[in-house]
Amino acid sequence: MERFDAIVIGLGGMGSAALFHLARRGVKVCGIEQFEINHTLGSSHGEVRAIRKAYFEHPDYVPLLHRAYELWDELQLTTEQSIFERCGMVFAGQQSSPAVDGLNRCFNEHHLPHDELSADEANSRYPKFNFSEDDTVFYDPDAGYVVPETTVERHVQLARDAGAKIKTETEVKSWREVDDGIEVTTESSTLTAKKLIVCAGAWTDQILAKLGLPLEIRRKVQLWYSTPNVDSYSRDFPIWFMDRPYGGVYGFPSLDGKTIKAAVHSGEDVTQSPETLKRELVEGDQDLVLRCLRDTFPGIIPTLDRFSVCMYTCTPDEHFIIDQHPEHENVFFGAGFSGHGFKFVPVVGEILADLTIQGRSDLPYEFLRLGRFHGI
Helix segments in the chain, DSSP class H: 13-24, 62-76, 98-110, 119-125, 148-161, 204-207, 287-296, 345-358
Average pLDDT over residues 231-258: 94
In a domain, 66, yes or no: no
pLDDT beyond 80 at 187:
yes
The strand pairing partners of 91, in sequence order, are: 138, 241
- Would you tell me how many other CB atoms lie within 10 Å of the CB of residue 176? 9
Residue 253 to residues 89, 182, 258, 352: CA-CA distances in angstroms? 10, 45, 10, 33
Q: Please check whether residues 106 and 225 belong to one and the same domain.
A: yes
Q: How far apart are CA 23 and CA 331, in angstroms?
A: 17
Among candidate residues 299, 314, 329, the one where a domain is terminated: 314
Among candidate residues 272, 298, 314, the one where a domain is terminated: 314
In a domain, 225, yes or no: yes
Among candidate residues 314, 329, 344, the one where a domain is terminated: 314
Does residue 374 or residue 84 have the better pLDDT?
84
Q: Please check whether residues 306 and 195 belong to one and the same domain.
A: no
Q: Please check whether residues 241 and 364 belong to one and the same domain.
A: no
Q: How far apart are CA 179 and CA 174, in angstroms?
A: 16
Q: Please check whether residues 222 and 359 belong to one and the same domain.
A: no
User: At 346, which CATH number?
Assistant: 3.50.50.60
The strand pairing partners of 125, in sequence order, are: none
Q: Please check whether residues 230 and 159 belong to one and the same domain.
A: no
In a domain, 58, yes or no: no
Q: Please check whether residues 176 and 158 belong to one and the same domain.
A: yes
pLDDT beyond 60 at 301:
yes
Residues ≥6 apart with Cβ < 8 Å to 70: none
In a domain, 254, yes or no: yes
Contact 7, 336 (CB under 8 A): no
Q: Which pLDDT band holds residue 218 (cuts at 50, 70, 90)?
A: very high
In a domain, 60, yes or no: no
Q: What is the pLDDT of residue 375?
A: 66
Average pLDDT over residues 6-24: 98
Percent of the chain with pLDDT over 70: 99
Q: What domain count does the chain have?
A: 2
Q: How far apart are CA 15 and CA 25, in angstroms?
A: 16
Q: What is the pLDDT of residues 337-375, one digit of tens each?
A: 999 999 999 999 999 999 999 999 999 999 999 999 986
Q: How far apart are CA 196 and CA 183, in angstroms?
A: 9
pLDDT beyond 80 at 235:
no
Q: What is the pLDDT of residue 95?
A: 87
Contact 17, 346 (CB under 8 A): yes
Contact 304, 289 (CB under 8 A): no
pLDDT beyond 70 at 376:
no
Residues ≥6 apart with Cβ < 8 Å to 341: 13, 14, 320, 348
Domain, as residue range, for 338: 2-45+149-211+317-373
Q: What is the pLDDT of residue 258?
A: 96
Q: What is the pLDDT of residue 267?
A: 87
User: At 76, which CATH number?
Assistant: 3.30.9.10
Average pLDDT over residues 251-266: 96
Q: What is the pLDDT of residue 374?
A: 82
In a domain, 53, yes or no: no
In a domain, 55, yes or no: no
Q: Please check whether residues 299 and 235 belong to one and the same domain.
A: yes
| Element spanning 220, H or E | strand 216-226
Q: What is the pLDDT of residue 103?
A: 96
Q: Please check whether residues 81 and 157 belong to one and the same domain.
A: no
In a domain, 265, yes or no: yes
Q: How far apart are CA 181 and CA 331, in angstroms?
A: 9
